[in-house]
């Protein structure tokens, strides 16, 4: 008579990287400046520091949440691309400058795509039905 064993795999297939979204601290700091200047132009220095720090914390926390991570990821691509394009503007050759700028945009896009995937894949994995394996022993 055959014996059946149900093997349930409880360990996750994808382990979340908690260091990767910390890359978004740089865009968060840069975005906090115009955010503060437009919304609170008359705030004093300690209030400015507190508002900018709160913005940075919220921005980085959003980088860990599934689906919502799209907002800081898109903003991060914009700021990181603009940040790294400044040195590329000093390249004298037009063709080389365009190639370097395209490569910078691609790399920044892939970095933020990795942050988006890091936040979203574990959430999607939890939505997937966990199919048990059945082993037959005879």
pLDDT of 129: 63
Query: Largest Cα–Cα distance in the chain?
Result: 82
pLDDT in tens, 54-82: 999 999 999 999 889 999 999 999 999 99
Q: Give the dihedral sign, CA 118/120/123/124.
A: negative
pLDDT-derived band at 116, boundaries 50, 70, 90: very high
pLDDT (0 to 100) of residue 45: 87
Q: What is the structure's pLDDT at 122? A: 82
Average pLDDT over residues 76-90: 93
Measure the CA–CA gap between 58 and 52, rounded to whole angstroms: 10
pTM to 2 decimals?
0.78
Q: Which residues of 64-86 are buried (b: 16+ CB within 10 A; e: fewer)?
A: bebeebeebbebbbebbbeebee
136 or 73, greater pLDDT: 73
| C-beta of residue 30 within 8 angstroms of C-beta of residue 83 | yes
* Token pair belonging to 129: 């039905």
Using pLDDT thresholds of 50, 70 and 90, give the confidence band for residue 11: low
For 37-49, what is the mean pLDDT? 89
Q: 125: Cβ–Cβ under 8 A, 6 or more apart, which residues?
A: 12, 13, 14
Residue 7 has pLDDT above 90, yes or no: no
Share of the chain above pLDDT 70, in %: 93
């Amino acid at each position: 008579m055959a014996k059946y064993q149900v093997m349930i795999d409880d360990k996750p297939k994808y382990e979340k990287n908690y260091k990767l979204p910390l890359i978004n601290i740089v865009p968060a700091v840069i975005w906090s400046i115009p955010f503060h200047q437009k919304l609170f132009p008359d705030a004093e220095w300690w209030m400015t520091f507190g508002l900018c720090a709160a913005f940075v914390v919220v921005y980085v926390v959003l980088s860990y949440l599934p689906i919502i991570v799209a907002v800081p990821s898109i903003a991060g691509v914009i700021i990181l691309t603009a940040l790294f394009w400044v040195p590329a503007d000093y390249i004298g050759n037009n063709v080389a400058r365009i190639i370097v700028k395209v490569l910078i945009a691609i790399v920044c896009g892939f970095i933020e795509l990795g942050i988006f995937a890091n936040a979203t894949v574990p959430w999607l994995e939890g939505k997937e039905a966990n199919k048990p394996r059945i082993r037959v022993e005879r």
